[in-house]
Amino acid sequence: MSFKDTLFSVKRTLNCGSAVIDFKQPRVMGILNITPDSFYDGGRYMNKKDILLRTGKMLEEGADMIDVGAYSSRPGAAHISAEEEKRRLAGALEALRKVHPGIVISVDTFRADVASFAVNEFNVNIINDISSGMMDPEMIPVVASLRVPYIMMHMQGTPQNMQVNPVYQDVTKEVLSFFAERLRKAVDEGLNDIIVDPGFGFGKSLDDNYKMLRELDLFRVLGCPVMVGLSRKSMIYKFLKLTPEEALNGTTSLHTLALQNGASILRVHDVKEAIQTIRLWSQYQNAGK
């Protein structure tokens, strides 16, 4: 299959090994940060007990996938080695697979060797890469060889410098062009299950973020399910002059707009509220039909 064949026909299922996720309705990915310095929940889930409690709660509330991140990608985050990233992941993934063996787990990493480690050692189902293979040129061919779905996100720069004066002529057009090139490479490498994430807050100004959200339906041209990561981000709390802890209502508002504009996956800290948002939006969409 060529890249051209994927255009305009949005993929409706995701093959996650023993599980197949369909997108008849939007799905929820619960965030599990096992880092000491994430912008909202850094340091809360650093031992197995807290990791399992957090995961159990998200699953009980209806999460379809759990995204485990051991490398903080907040603006200005400290860089850690691949060995430290693997060390953090190993304890968490071992515990999750022991207690919840059948759940769909995504690992948030930009490193090919970490992706291989997570899939081969812990049967991780999805790789979520904030750089779409730009930070590690081996990532796309390695994920293709692992035969797992791949989430590719757009980011201008790196976590350490991405918010230092990001500039676009037209952010939506430029992000779409970026994905067209990266998708072509991924499809040529043999990747079939791909999700795109526009990367809200990753090298974008406030206006850039809201322009992309308003124009999110244009991303359907790529032929891939679209994931959005809006949860409690600075585009909400800084604009409203709040803290991340106070940004749940704003998050829900933007989730509704994202759903209306074609989002297939909400990546969230607050699963229960995201599920409720999807249910209400679905009822609104289907009323009277």
Among the listed residues 245, 277, 286, 266, the one whose alpha carbon sits nearest the alpha carbon of residue 23:
266
**Residues with catalytic function:** 233, 267
Angle at 268 between CA 99 and CA 93, to 5 degrees: 25
Q: Which residue has the tokens 């480690």?
A: 117
In angstroms, rounded to a whole number, what is the distance separating the alpha carbons of residues 118 and 135? 18
Among the listed residues 162, 134, 204, the one whose alpha carbon sits nearest the alpha carbon of residue 77:
162
Q: Which residues contact 106 (CB under 8 A, 6 or more apart)?
A: 29, 65, 66, 67, 68, 124, 125, 126, 127, 128, 151
DSSP summary character for residue 181: H
